[in-house]
Structure 1
Amino acid sequence: MKWTYRPALDGLRSMAALVIILFHAGVEWVPGGFVPLDLFFVLSGYLVTNVILSEIDRKGKLDLGRFYARRVRRLLPAAILTIVGVTLIFLLLTSVVRRLEVIGDAQAALLYYANWHHIMQSTDYFAAEQVSPFLHFWSLSLEEQFYIFFPLLVIFLLKLKSKWALPVGLTVVFLASLASQVYWGRVDEMHAYYGTDARLYQIVAGALLAVAMRSPRFQVSRRWGTVIAVTGFATWVLLIGPWLDLTQSNRGIVAMVACTMLVGGLMINDQQLLSRAVSARIPVYLGTITYAIYLWHWPITLVLQEFIATSPETLAVLVGVLSVAMAAASAELLETPVRTSKLLDGHKWKVVVAGVGTSALIAVFFVPWALEKDRQPSLVANGGANQTTSVQGVAAETAAAEAEDVPSGIDWAAIQADKGADLPCEAEDPTECIVVEGDGPHVLLVGDSHARMLAPMFREIAEEQGWTFSMNVLAGCMWQPDIVNLQSPQARIERCEGIRVGWYDEKLPQLDPDVIVLVSQDRLASKAKMRNLEARDDVREPIERTILRSTRETLDTITQHVDHVVLIEDVLTPDTFRPDECLATATTAVDCVVPLPVDTPGTSAAYITMAQVLDNVSTVNLNNAFCPSAPTCQPVVNGEVVWRDRYHVATDFAVARREEVWKALEGTGAFS
């Protein structure tokens, strides 16, 4: 089948962009609204393959310089404009602590490795709170990586001088990528979603479709083309809606089949009703600017969500209108002039070097310069400062009287980066987990990120008190072995299992500590936190019961091997707001105080109860040490920022309060 432009393909693009906008706006009836990306991938593979093979048919070879220059002129101008524009918008509207978090995202987007960047950062695309305006560049990065290697692969396969080399070669790549998707879908869902190796099969499916349809042997009737297209479209719609219960990985595989059928069916019969519907003037026009619509829709969504409280449907309409307006302006004023420039046609490789070089310079110099600026935002979003609304009466007056000024020149990047130290005790000889050797008692610290944030403080105390100090600490890994934290990547879950399941029976006696200190974030504090947990052994019971059961069983095991167990009660953190952002936007620290809870937190209550019934088990509350201004807790104490984020104390602050912490620990009698 001869390749010619088909407006229906542009219509498909606009339809996919609409669904993505609905999904990102939070519209509930499109829970599979990420599936249109699969259509983008199939379309990209189909179109770029036809472009390459058509040139080879006409000229006998592919002009690589021209191909890459056309890609640069098509993709980079709009992408650079969006990234620079969004960077400046976020410089004006958000605090430095928010901006510091996305510097790496912007740089990865400019250099087209965003998908691998998010894998390394363990970014959950489906998390409720996604605040990076550059997150959506992951799919564009994957496509750009494909555009770099694919023409080289085609040239290599055609040089083999076999009519089967190209389809067989592409089939091998397709099957290898599909196998990677199946593997990572079971091992690490984030890699399965972002990884080039795991998603390439969808683009290559489009390429194989193009190769097949260009073959003289390809004969499918127009009637069957209609059946194929309608079946593919219906399946695609089912995948977008709430009707099919599939894993993310399986949904993507089915979507690839559906999208390939949809594109192929429309190409076989471009006169069918579905083709005429998506070939209407407005869908086709929107399809021609879909790239820029996609670039702008996500940052616009984030900005509107920050400052406007409205329904998801209304938000989607606003995002759609603004995205189309920005995309139309971008196409008219920048993209089309660059893409159609006769002057640039004669400078193929220079265009490539200039485009890539410009992206690199902006990534290295402009992005850090702009996003690291410590300036107050021009507008403060809903829920920023003024957290004292929950502090009333005398407590509010006391908090205001004791509040310190917000220190100038706070190094927010250093505070965010200093998370303490993970030290999972995985060694065959657990004595290798000793980090301080002294003449006093041997103290072992075990827990998750709350243990990690306190580890530098405990190390300082150990050196001052002459302890031997060891650690078995891994963020996201509770000290109770029967609980799985589903928010962790699969690799971390498996690592957690290795340092918890059976460890207290097998390795703890070899380490032989005198005191074991157990620390975990309070997971009983909210249903949202408990939803991210499940029993490791698939016991069918409420997760709060699993936590309590595992706590008791683990303590029974530990007390057989250790003289004293110290349970750290819940350490107060803001939870409901970001203290770093609050401080960065507040005029006075009193805007960011946190009241001590009146009721005992769930985990702390369970610890206290177990300490009463188990010998040699004590609890200690560190909030008096960390909150000297009780009943309200200041965000700045003696010039030190108290909280790193909404769930963790800053490690430097914990170290600064070690004398008060030691007094609390000494009161348990466990460290004599």
Structure 2
Amino acid sequence: MVLMRLRESADTIPANSRADKAFRLDIEGLRAIAVLVVLVYHLSSDWLPGGFAGVDIFFVISGFLITSHLVSEVERQGRIRFARFYSRRIRRLIPATFVVLLATSVGVLLVVPRFAWHQFGIDIASAGAYIVNWVLAARSVDYLAEDAAASPVQHFWSLAVEEQFYLVWPILITCLVAAARRLGVPLKTAIACGASAVLITSFTYAHILVARGEVSAYFITTTRLWELAVGALAALVIGPLQTVLNDMARAVLGVLGFVAIVVSVVALDGGDWPAAPALLPTLGAAAIILSGRGTGSSGVGRLLSMRPLVWIGGVSYALYLWHWPLISLARYKWSDFALWQMLFLAALSIALAWLTGKLVENPIRFSSWFAARSSRGFILGAACAVLTVAIGLQLATVAASNALRAPNGAVPAGAGVLDSEDMAKSMGLDKWINDVDWVSPSPIEALEDVPAIYADGCQQSTSDPEPVSCAYGDLEAPNVIALIGDSKAVQWLSALDEFGRANGFRIVTYAKSACPFVEAEVLLDGDEYPSCERWNESVIEELAVLRPDVVVTSQVRGVAVDPAGTTSATTMVTGLERLWSELNERGTRVVVLGDTPQTGSNIYECVAENSDQLETCAYDRESAIAKSAFLVQKQAVQNLNGSILSVSGRSLHGTNEDITMLDLTDAVCPSEKLCPPVVGNALIYRSGSHITDTYVRTMEPFLSALLLEAGVGIENDHIGAFHGE
């Protein structure tokens, strides 16, 4: 998510030349263009696919204005007055931020389902502390956060980047000024060298992270500093540059910059951001700034100095603050916006921005009482920050109070209430959801109810093809079970860990997000997924060294890419057969854990909102199985003459003892037609169709029994063959 930057006061207009001491109307207009393209992008990204580039434009403006102000102060005063500088930034930025975050908190309480309050409360608190960009960066690489809702304050990430820049940039300039005086170097030359170093280092780092596929690169400060440094360099060279550029040259420079911005917002799609493609809007904004003078006399300058654009630029900071909370919260009432709804939200955003400037920003910003003592600004900022953080944390805390929250010390029986007879009969839905007073985990905590593999950092991201392995179970055991696959495989880790401890197996994991263990090409969100294929090849190579006794695998993906470039279940079946046969030829037994039913929605969300009507959260068993990878896995096992062992005793036995499928469906859905969301006071599902770790642990006796039935046990002669036993 993206957004914009702040409107600085007229005292930050550059003083690098006499002409530039005038108020830059064209920069106000450039602000307006940036915020408007972002507004349109958030209302309908189809209209301006590259509208997110508005944030890059604002970064350049910020770097230009703040550097101009600081350099001017050094030239006039001989130093930067830090207390005065930071106090003015606080008065300019934080009061409006506090008002919007407070209003957003109220909006969350009024229209957002309870299950999202915890996440949004944390986001509001981190936005108030100006660290939300790092929170979003962590969430962007967290596979467990795939179901996280769009935060109404996620646009604060760009403000957080700028505030962090404001914190360190005056200090760096002070150090550079000191070095320049000691070495006898011109001040601007020294500062330009420092800005160039920041630009090169940050841009290189952004390129490296983007090349690795690290999606966190979009949010973190270190990959964005180069854009602010571009603006800083523009502030340092604008004076000398304009002495050598005539009006025609400046006009051409402005037109080129404007064209670059237009191309950016119309044609770019966000790929490889914020690396090389981000140069287009960034350098375009710098070109417009360098082409203009205070009067905006160039062609583009005259366009940007039009009164409506200048007015929008004047309220751009508050418009930035208001528009995304309004849009994101409105989506809870209107899933798709009609044109009139878009116009209404845009008009409301502008109206609130104007009111905020008139009633909050300007009275505090221009207050002589606050200006008299810098300490008053710091007190104001601290009070607003503390209150905002407290409000956000309170919202997160309130979210946990749910009608189905388990009493202290309560332990759910989960699948422990089932027996083979119950599952074989497929009891009715009412048996499992009647008189449920509490569940564990609570719906609010469902996303966090996961096996240890995530905290241990043992599931590889979608971008990295290198295998990562971790060991569980009996760590000293010579016999090895390799657990391989995507998140639907590793959801069983806790049960396998217990099995390994009890039966003398070391459990070695190889996990990669959204990547099935198969000799076939798969897609990721409709695009090629080359790192998955390379990961599979590398895992197979590592297995040749590890030589596990058993490979246990599962997956969520039911189709693979065929030679014609389309996806098909047949291609997936063929790829699974090929891989499993190769493992069998090496002497490795393969145990396939049948994919759990695809619910089609987030069950925990439904339970949170319908705690007294749990039947609302049931889903159709037959269609859920059909949408999962279960039938594909079953077909591949049957083609290899393997056995299918069911937890309810409805098993199919084949002649190939080296390939077995374990069907745990009846323990996950012990009903004939509609599957319950809760069994034995245990919430069954967390993210999508993933089983909560709590419920998996209660299923351990069933899984262990099936593994032993499949011949995976210390008494079986097959086990230990690789170890000469």
Give the TM-score category using the shorter length: 0.7 to 0.9
- For residue 102 of structure 1, the aligned residue among 115, 120, 136 is 120
Q: What residue number does 1:471 align with?
A: 508
Distance 1:223 1:438, change over 3 A: closer
Matches within 5 A, 1:213-232: 213-215=238-240, 218-232=243-257
- For residue 487 of structure 2, the aligned residue among 449, 453, 463 is 449
Q: Which amino acid aligns with 1:518?
A: T
Matches within 5 A, 1:79-158: 79-122=97-140, 131-158=150-177
Matches within 5 A, 1:391-410: 399=429, 403-405=433-435, 407-408=437-438
CA distance in 2 between counterparts of 1:279 and 1:286 reads 11
CA distance in 2 between counterparts of 1:429 and 1:25 reads 40
Distance 1:195 1:243, change over 3 A: closer
- Match status 1:416 vs 2:447: yes
Matches within 5 A, 1:621-636: 621-636=663-678
Distance 1:327 1:145, change over 3 A: same
Q: Which amino acid aligns with 1:102?
A: F
Q: What residue number does 2:5 align with?
A: none
Shift of 1:15: 1.8
Q: Which amino acid aligns with 1:195?
A: I
Distance 1:33 1:431, change over 3 A: closer
Shift of 1:655: 1.5
Shift of 1:632: 0.9
- For residue 552 of structure 1, the aligned residue among 569, 572, 577 is 577
Matches within 5 A, 1:359-378: 359-360=385-386, 362-363=388-389, 365-374=390-399
Contact 1:38 1:252 in 2 (8 A): yes
Matches within 5 A, 1:339-378: 339-352=365-378, 354-356=380-382, 358-360=384-386, 362-363=388-389, 365-374=390-399
Deviation string, structure 1 residues 324-381 (Cα, Å, up to 9, x no partner): 1222222122111111111111221452254146414532x3312122214899xxxx
Distance 1:312 1:174, change over 3 A: farther
Q: What residue number does 1:642 align with?
A: 684
Shift of 1:86: 1.2
CA distance in 2 between counterparts of 1:279 and 1:474 reads 56
Contact 1:46 1:208 in 2 (8 A): yes
Distance 1:506 1:463, change over 3 A: closer
Q: What residue number does 1:194 align with?
A: 219
Q: What residue number does 2:557 align with?
A: 522
Q: What residue number does 2:315 align with?
A: 289
SS in 1 for 2:507: strand
Distance 1:117 1:402, change over 3 A: closer
CA distance in 1 between counterparts of 2:472 and 2:270 reads 47
CA distance in 2 between counterparts of 1:32 and 1:429 reads 35
Deviates further, 243-252 or 164-173: 243-252
Q: Structure 2 unaligned runs (5+)?
A: 1-16, 403-426, 461-465, 641-655, 717-725
Deviates further, 440-449 or 329-338: 440-449
CA distance in 1 between counterparts of 2:545 and 2:661 reads 22
Distance 1:58 1:590, change over 3 A: same
Deviates further, 284-293 or 559-568: 559-568
SS in 2 for 1:516: strand
Shift of 1:546: 6.3
Give the count of matched residue pairs: 633
CA distance in 1 between counterparts of 2:386 and 2:519 reads 46
- Match status 1:180 vs 2:201: no
CA distance in 2 between counterparts of 1:323 and 1:431 reads 50
CA distance in 1 between counterparts of 2:129 and 2:523 reads 33
Shift of 1:113: 2.2
Q: Which amino acid aligns with 1:503?
A: V
Shift of 1:44: 0.7
Distance 1:664 1:25, change over 3 A: farther
Matches within 5 A, 1:38-117: 38-117=56-135
CA distance in 1 between counterparts of 2:24 and 2:476 reads 76
- Aligned residues: CA RMSD: 3.5
Q: What residue number does 1:263 align with?
A: 289
Shift of 1:579: 1.4
CA distance in 1 between counterparts of 2:467 and 2:269 reads 49
Distance 1:295 1:128, change over 3 A: farther
Deviates further, 316-325 or 631-640: 316-325
Normalised TM-score (structure 2): 0.79
- For residue 331 of structure 2, the aligned residue among 294, 302, 305 is 305
SS in 2 for 1:572: coil
Percent identity between the aligned chains? 23
Q: What residue number does 1:658 align with?
A: 700
Shift of 1:578: 2.0
SS in 1 for 2:224: helix
Distance 1:561 1:229, change over 3 A: same
Q: What residue number does 1:392 align with?
A: none
CA distance in 1 between counterparts of 2:542 and 2:196 reads 49
Normalised TM-score (structure 1): 0.85
Shift of 1:224: 1.8
CA distance in 2 between counterparts of 1:297 and 1:110 reads 17
SS in 2 for 1:307: coil
- Match status 1:596 vs 2:621: yes
Distance 1:321 1:404, change over 3 A: farther
Distance 1:21 1:244, change over 3 A: closer
CA distance in 2 between counterparts of 1:50 and 1:439 reads 66
Q: What residue number does 1:580 align with?
A: 604
Q: What residue number does 2:591 align with?
A: 566
CA distance in 2 between counterparts of 1:239 and 1:581 reads 38
SS in 1 for 2:292: helix
Deviation string, structure 1 residues 552-580 (Cα, Å, up to 9, x no partner): 332122212345312122201423x2211
Shift of 1:589: 0.5
Shift of 1:19: 1.0
Shift of 1:653: 1.2
